[in-house]
Structure formats: structure tokens, C-alpha cells
Amino acid sequence: MNKLLLGRFIPGDSFVHRLDPRAKLLTSFYFIIIIFFCNNFVSFGVMFLFVLAAILASKINLGFFIKGVKPLIWLILFTVSLQILFTTGGEVYFKLGFLTVSEFGLVNGAYIFFRFVLIILMSTLLTLTTAPLSLSDAIEYLLRPLKAVKFPAHETSMMLSIALRFVPTLMDETEKIMNAQRARGVDFNEGNLMQKMKAIVPLLIPLFVSAFDRAEDLALAMEARGYRGGEGRSKYRVLRWTLKDTLIIVSMVVLTALLMWVRN
């Protein structure tokens, strides 16, 4: 259960931690988009340097980032090997039936690999340095313009923050139910695929029931405390945009310019 890095947040007080979550969210998204403009090794190098600088500024142990890449390693290897084996062009090094290892294939494979790693590093950096709640605040703020097209921005962010608040609670619950069922003889790791799937049932059904019960209790408690939706609500948490947030945005512009200059 503890392997899950999704939404994991490591509290700290570094430069990256103190950035406005909106700035971080926008920067990360923008960064992921411009990764696709990279088309030579120098441009990837530039991007790597940027991410490295950001990671160093976050003062978070590099080990966490490697852990972030780990669960996706098979996906990466799979995609990279497909690229290598099925791209043709340039000098051919090896050929077997329809499988070819060529110069273009190797280069494309390397690009894909770098792209994956960069995207994972950047999104891991975002979740590691931003408290889930600030993240949902930022999302609410950034979705606000969509209200014009009747998009329920407040509801979405409320849903998001409740979901995030209940992640640890439901994890604990899962653990407890698993132990309770183990005490009655359910084995979660043995047998073939079919048996394993069947073993999930005594875990899943109680979990669903308790999630609905919790939802009902929570709704009642919210109503008793005067919750009536987004209208007329004030906000306890405020987002503060400071000079360093503007600087981060400027740095993205600089990075884009640099990228355009070094790419072919």
C-alpha cells in the first residue's frame, strides 16, 4: 500500500514548495507540452538541465523520483522497444523478418525514453512539493473561467478535495478489511488469476458499502454545518501570487526560446 506515490506529498520549505500552486500547475503542464518540441539531443539536454535544477531547488531526495519512474518502467521499455524494432530508415544494423534495428529507430527510441522520464520527473515533482489541498485550490481557480460555459468549478474542486482527504482513510479501511478476511481464511495472493479475482470480492463489497455509508454520514455532517454549495461561500485558504511565481513563468518563456533555438 505504501508504494503508491500518487498524490504523495512531502512537506518541506524549499523554493519549489513555496511557489504558488497555480504557477506550479501551469508550469508543469506547459513543460510537458513543450517536451514534444524537442527533436535533438541538445534540446533534451536543455530540458533535463531545467528539471534537474527544479529537483535540486526542491531539496527532495533523488530516490523519490526514481521510485516515481519505477512503476512505469515496463511501459517505457515496451514503447521504446516497439520504436526501436519497427522504425526504419537510416543505416540498418540488424534485420530479422519484419524486425529491424536501424539508426532512426534507435534515435526515436532514445527520444521516447527521455520524453517519458522527463514527464514523470516533472509530474512527480509537482505532487511531491504541493499539498493535495493547494493543488485542488489551484485547479478550482484555473477552472473558474469555465463557469461561463456552466462548468461546475466549485463542485469539481470540492469533490477533488474530499476524494483526496479520504484516500488515507479508505487505504486504512482496505487494510483492515483485508486483515479481517484473512483472519477468516481468505487468501489474497494464492491461486490462479480467476481465484485471485474471486478473492477480491470479500474485500470490494464491504469497501463499497462502507464508502457509501461514509458518504452519507459526511453529507449529513456537511449539511448540519450549513453547506449549501458554492454560492455565498468565503474561502479560508488564499493563494498568493508573488514575484517568484512570475519569475517561474518568465523562466518558461526563456526555456521555450532556448528550445526553439537549439532544435533543428
Partner 1 sequence: MSHPQIELKEITFNYHEDDKKALDNVSLSINPGEWVALIGHNGSGKSTLAKTINGLIRPTAGEILINGEKLTEENLWDMRKMIGMVFQNPDNQFVGSTVEDDVAFGLENQGIPREEMLVRVKDALERVRMSEFTLREPSMLSGGQKQRVAIAGVVALRPDVIILDEATSMLDPEGRAEVIQTIKKIKDESNLTVISITHDIDEAAFANRVLVMNSGQLVAQGTPEEIFSGNRELVEQGLDIPFPEKLKAALEDREIEVPQEYLTEERLVEWLWTSGLKK
Pick one of 10, 112, 133, 143: the residue that binds partner 1 (CB under 8 A): 133
Number of residues that bind partner 1 (CB under 8 A): 30
CB nearer to partner 1: give 57 or 133: 133
Question: 89, 90, 168, 191: which one contacts partner 1 (CB under 8 A)?
Answer: 168
Comparing CB distances to partner 1, the nearer of 152 and 230 is 230
Least distance to partner 1 from the beta carbon of 220, Å? 6
With binding defined as CB under 8 A, does residue 132 bind partner 1? yes
Nearer to partner 1, 147 or 233 (CB): 233
75 binds partner 1 (CB under 8 A): no
Q: Give the amino acid at 107.
A: V
Q: Quick count: other Cβ atoms within 10 Å of Cβ 175?
A: 11
Residue 186 found at the interface with partner 1 (CB under 8 A):
no
Tell me which stretch binds partner 1 (CB under 8 A): 15-23, 70-78, 131-139, 249-257.
Answer: 131-139
To partner 1, the closest distance from the beta carbon of 31 in angstroms equals 26
175 interacts with partner 1 by CB under 8 A: no
Residue 150 lies near partner 1 (rule: CB under 8 A): no
Chain residues that interact with partner 1, rule: CB under 8 A:
131-133, 161-162, 164-165, 168-169, 172, 213-214, 217-218, 220-228, 232-238
